[in-house]
Structure 1
Amino acid sequence: MRLIKTILPAAASVFLAASPALAEGLPADPLGSPMWEYHAEKLFTGGPVIFDNRVKVILPVIAEDQHVVPVTVDARKLDGVKRIVVFADLNPIPVAIDYRPMGAAPFVATRIKLDQRTPVRAAVQLADGSWHVAGDWIDAAGGGCSAPPLSRVRGDWADHLGEMRGAAWSDGNSTRLRFGFRHPMDTGLVENIPAYNIETVRVTDAGGREIATMDVYGSVAEDPAFTLVVDRDGPMEVSARDTSGLEFTGELAPASGKRLSSGQ
């Protein structure tokens, strides 16, 4: 049985505004990570950093498979969300995704690789520039980023590159999208296999207006899959581009729940 927990930061209360101490420097890390200050100084520009229990991060207690670790971030209790960044402090490729939900709810789920026991966090940026952070440690055996993907071992990765599947479910007010791509998501940390990964994902409506965009990095699991919640109905296009410049597109309609029609 997989143990799942909803992560709340160590602080018992929600901080609604930055204190003078936060304005002058970073808050102390409740997880005690040796890499907290390094990553925070690189990632969090333009506003104060606040540990906030309104950001829910759902993680397994232990990574049963360090190559495929589910992470769900729900920041729907916050208003004015601009970005959601998911990162693992001690991974060689720390950032997994940088999500911008322009016409979508501040909710995202995906699967990542872990190279060792590490804190995994979500950092949510609001319109005022402030960053709201939550997360916890995950125990992992290691090697998730430094082992070849299964499709490389089987040798069939090129036969299925870019294939897409997805479904959508609408309740009349919002639509839940689940879609994925066949892709090796090479990290560049395996001998003789250069880095090669999907780098951008874009969701648009029937009129071509952007609903959501995402920067994707090599620490996302092989055959990456994403779950989003968007605030509209009707057909939508999902497109992705990888680091070799290949583009993959597919159309998804909430009423069908069928496989994406995809093209390269």
Structure 2
Amino acid sequence: MKYPLTIAAIALAALMSPAEAAALKESGDPLDSARWADMEKAFLAGAPVLFDPRVKVIAPSMAENPMQVPVTVDATALPGIVEVVVFADFNPIVQVLRFFPEGAPAYLGFRVKLQQSTPVRAAVRTTDGVWHVGGTWVETVGGGCTAPSAAAASPEWQKRLNEVSGRQWSEGPNAGRVRLRIVHPMDTGLVAGTPAFHIEEINFTDAAGKRLMRVQTYEPVSENPVFTLQRVAVDGALEASGRDNNGNAFRAAIAP
């Protein structure tokens, strides 16, 4: 694997700025995590891996609320993307989500629960089979995965389960941006007496029915999740549809 990976790294470096090319690494975790070897084995086993500065994971260096940590993954500078997997090394449930950009750029914002300070990473697989990895450390007081959801204390959430609200920008500096919120407790199953209950999949399609992005979500995504994505062009409503792990489905259109 080492020889073809070296060829891939040389080819990639030729297309990048000098600063980006200097940051491209084939080995040696730049975040110096004790769990990187476990993460590589769990998610990227057997495939070439490059630490690539074009995979940007944007999150606060210090998160005051471990149940609602904002994260944005931006891999739009990387061509030929097949899938993106997001994980947090030191979370009790490591995998946060996966997304598959089809007709939309590889850009997704969301919020995550963190149990303790941890690297948050995105690994991007391209058509040549190489995983391009970026990430950042997030410091937090912790406990986000084992704290009960706010919904647990409210009788109202069941009436609004999977209710979708959102906005789509058609002009100005945010043109093409879409943001939506889904009412759901996103229980991790790590609170005594509360089973795992979370959204499993979301599909985003345009007005013609073409899928823009598919997102697989897991327990660490925050309660009442908010997602932000970017469209290449605004040509009508965006439809979001999906289901949770109990089979509850939702569908909603977000007009420009």
TM-score by length of 1: 0.84
Give, as a single letter, the amino acid of the residue that structure 1 aligns with 2:200: E
Q: Does 1:251 align with 2:256?
A: no
Report the Cα offset of residue 73 of structure 1. 1.1
In structure 2, the partner of 1:149 is: 149
Following superposition, the deviation at residue 44 of structure 1 comes to 1.2
* 1:119 matches 2:119: yes
Amino acid at match of 2:91: N
Contact 1:98/1:216, CA 8 A, preserved across alignment? yes
The residue number in structure 1 matching 2:205 is: 204
In structure 1, the partner of 2:223 is 222
Q: Answer yes or no: is the 8 Å Cα contact 2:58–2:136 preserved in 1.
A: no
Aligned residues: 235
2-structure distance, mates of 1:195, 1:250: 24
* Equivalent residue number for residue 72 of structure 1: 72
Query: How far apart, in 2, do the equivalents of 1:113 and 1:163 lie?
Result: 21
Shift of 1:171: 4.3
Q: Tell me, yes or no, if the aligned pair for 2:103 and 2:210 is still in contact at 8 Å.
A: no
Cα offset for 1:156?
2.7
1:57 deviates by 1.4
- Give me the whole-angstrom Cα distance separating, in 1, the residues matched to 2:46 and 2:255: 38
Please state how far the C-alpha of 1:31 moved relative to its aligned partner. 1.6
Displacement, 1:14? 4.0
Secondary structure of the residue aligned to 2:110 is strand
Alpha-carbon contact 1:99-1:214 (below 8 Å) kept: yes
Q: What RMSD, in angstroms, separates the aligned Cα atoms of the two structures? A: 1.9
Cα distance, 1:174–1:128 mapped onto 2, change above 3 Å: farther
Q: CA deviation at 1:242?
A: 0.2
Instruction: Please tell me the residue identity of whatever aligns with 2:254.
Output: L
CA distance in 1, matches of 2:21, 2:139: 24
The within-5 A match list for 1:37-186 is: 37-45=37-45, 47-171=47-171, 175-186=176-187
DSSP-derived class of the 2:158 partner: helix
Deviations 1:97-152 (A, max 9, x none): 10101000111100000001111111111111111111121111111000110111
State the identity %: 45
Q: Distance in 2 between matches of 1:219 and 1:252?
A: 25
The answer for unaligned runs of 5 or more in structure 1 is 1-10, 255-264
Q: In the aligned structure 2, how far is the partner of 1:128 from the partner of 1:154?
A: 48
Q: 2: CA distance between counterparts of 1:46 and 1:253?
A: 43
Matched residue, 1:194: 195
TM-score in terms of structure 2 length: 0.87
Secondary structure at the residue paired with 1:105?
coil
Partners of 1:14 and 1:186 in 2: CA distance = 38
In the alignment, what sits opposite 1:8?
none
DSSP 3-state at the match of 2:190: coil
Does structure 2 conserve the Cα–Cα contact (< 8 Å) formed by 1:120 and 1:136?
yes
**Cα deviations by residue, 1:70-116 (Å, 9 ceiling, x for unpaired):** 00111111111121211100001111110101000111100000001
Tell me if structure 1 keeps the 8 A contact 2:68–2:222. Answer: yes
CA separation in 1, counterparts of 2:214 and 2:59?
23
Task: Kindly state the Cα deviation for residue 43 of structure 1 after the two structures are TM-superposed.
Answer: 0.8
Q: Secondary structure at the match of 1:192?
A: coil
Richer in helix (by share): 2
Shift of 1:170: 2.5
1:45: Cα distance to partner?
4.5
Bigger CA drift: 158-167 or 181-190?
158-167
User: Structure 1 residue 159: deviation in Å?
Assistant: 2.2
Q: Could you tell me which amino acid in structure 1 is paired with residue 73 of structure 2? A: V
| Residue number in structure 2 paired with 1:262 | none
Detail structure 1 runs of 4+ shifted over 3 Å in the superposition. Answer: 171-174
Equivalent in the alignment of 1:6: none
In 2, the alpha carbon distance for the partners of 1:153 and 1:12 equals 51
